[in-house]
């Protein structure tokens, strides 16, 4: 099982704080550092110092880290034009030496779009249709031979005579992640375009249902379902004892009982047991959402006390 660190800096974080978490992620031996792609704080509280742009942040981290993989979970298809995003991701991939992964979703946070003047299609169906066109364009540009040109005529986006440059460092392309909780559109889109299907903040039981739907979607289009990595994202709140666990829950404004229901919470053994429940669903990667970015000891505790309890298969050792 790969353990990745996942943050939500829109809740209030500077680049320096994110760099400290990314470097700690690298030092602790985790597989990757991912961040959300949002501009507006969710819920109440002081959002200072204000939002950071996901891909500008990752460009900095590409130069300021050495080993860990870097990516978004998830960029919103509403935020950037698809050809523009293809250029951005390819450039950051080159800056990192080929360590970038693109997580792309339909977009959902209407209040955020309104606050920043970003057009928000009110129809869920339209947002998914735009996502599909974006994935087709990004994949198409990256796959275009250097002597060829790429064109696309969709309902929402049109490209003509595009050179498909720059090319990413990774061949054939950076991994593409499609995520969501729905058991109809998300599996179908992942089957067509994704290297990984991610289920965020859901029970292991729901992950199993969605991954089963992914298998069905793959069979429908003749794709081998084993070619798609399966992953889950969970909030983590771990500690040596009740006092430490309670303190970490209080620091992020959550109740321990609620976190036990909706995240991986408790002692090292308890958290390892909770994470192992996702293995039975086929998940091979877990994104551990860290909400207190100033608590680097939390990352060290997980690396030193939780990770060793998970064997190579993800089962408790």
Task: Write the pLDDT tens digit of every residue in 27-68.
Answer: 999 999 999 999 999 888 888 888 999 999 999 999 999 999
Given a contact cutoff of 8 angstroms between Cβ atoms, the answer to whether 193 and 136 are in contact is yes
Q: What is the pLDDT of residue 316?
A: 53
Report the alpha-carbon distance of residue 63 to residue 81 in Å, rounded. Answer: 25
Report the alpha-carbon distance of residue 177 to residue 221 in Å, rounded. Answer: 18
Q: What is the pLDDT of residue 46?
A: 81
Range with the poorest average pLDDT among 41-45, 80-84, 279-283: 41-45
Residue 265: closest CA among 281, 280, 247: 247
**Band of pLDDT at residue 313, cut at 50, 70 and 90:** very low
Place of tokens 């597989």: 31
Torsions phi, psi for 7 (to 5 deg): -125, 160
Residue 220 scores a pLDDT above 70: yes
Dihedral class, residue 188 (left if φ above 0, else alpha if ψ from -120 to 50, else beta):
alpha
Q: What is the pLDDT of residue 156?
A: 98
Given a contact cutoff of 8 angstroms between Cβ atoms, the answer to whether 61 and 32 are in contact is no
Residue 185 scores a pLDDT above 70: yes
Q: What is the pLDDT of residue 120?
A: 97
Residue 38 vs residue 313, higher pLDDT = 38
Query: What is the mean predicted confidence (pLDDT) over 242-254?
Result: 96
Query: What is the mean predicted confidence (pLDDT) over 212-238?
Result: 98
Architecture of domain 2-309: Alpha-Beta Barrel (3.20)
Range with the poorest average pLDDT among 42-56, 122-136, 187-201, 289-303: 42-56
Q: What is the pLDDT of residue 286?
A: 97
Q: What is the pLDDT of residue 317?
A: 47
Q: Where in the chain are the domains?
A: 2-309
């Amino acid at each position: 099982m790969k353990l990745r660190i996942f943050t939500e800096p829109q809740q209030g974080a500077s680049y320096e704080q994110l760099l400290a978490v990314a470097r700690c992620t690298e030092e602790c031996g985790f597989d990757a550092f991912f961040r959300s792609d949002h501009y507006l704080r969710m819920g109440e509280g002081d959002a200072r110092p204000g939002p950071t742009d996901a891909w500008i942040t990752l460009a900095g981290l590409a130069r300021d880290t050495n080993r860990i993989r870097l990516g978004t979970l998830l960029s919103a298809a509403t935020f950037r034009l698809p050809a523009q995003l293809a250029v951005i991701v390819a450039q950051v991939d080159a800056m990192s030496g080929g360590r970038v992964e693109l997580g792309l979703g339909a977009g959902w946070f209407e209040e955020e779009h309104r606050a920043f003047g970003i057009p928000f299609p009110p129809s869920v169906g339209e947002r998914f249709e735009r996502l599909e066109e974006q994935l087709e364009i990004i994949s198409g540009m990256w796959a275009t031979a250097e002597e060829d040109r790429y064109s696309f005529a969709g309902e929402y986006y049109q490209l003509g005579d595009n050179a498909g440059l720059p090319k990413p460092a990774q061949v054939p392309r950076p991994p593409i992640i499609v995520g969501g909780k729905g058991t109809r559109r998300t599996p179908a889109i992942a089957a067509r375009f994704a290297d990984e299907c991610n289920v965020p903040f859901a029970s292991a039981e729901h992950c199993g249902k969605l991954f089963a739907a992914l298998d069905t979607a793959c069979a429908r289009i003749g794709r081998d379902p084993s070619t798609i990595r399966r992953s889950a994202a969970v909030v983590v709140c771990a500690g040596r004892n009740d006092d430490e666990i309670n303190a970490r829950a209080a620091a992020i404004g959550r109740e321990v009982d609620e976190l036990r229901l909706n995240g991986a919470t408790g002692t090292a053994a308890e958290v390892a047991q909770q994470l192992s429940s996702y293995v039975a669903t086929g998940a091979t990667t877990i994104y551990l959402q860290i909400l207190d970015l100033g608590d680097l000891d939390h990352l060290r505790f997980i690396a030193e006390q939780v990770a060793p309890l998970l064997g190579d298969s993800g089962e408790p050792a």
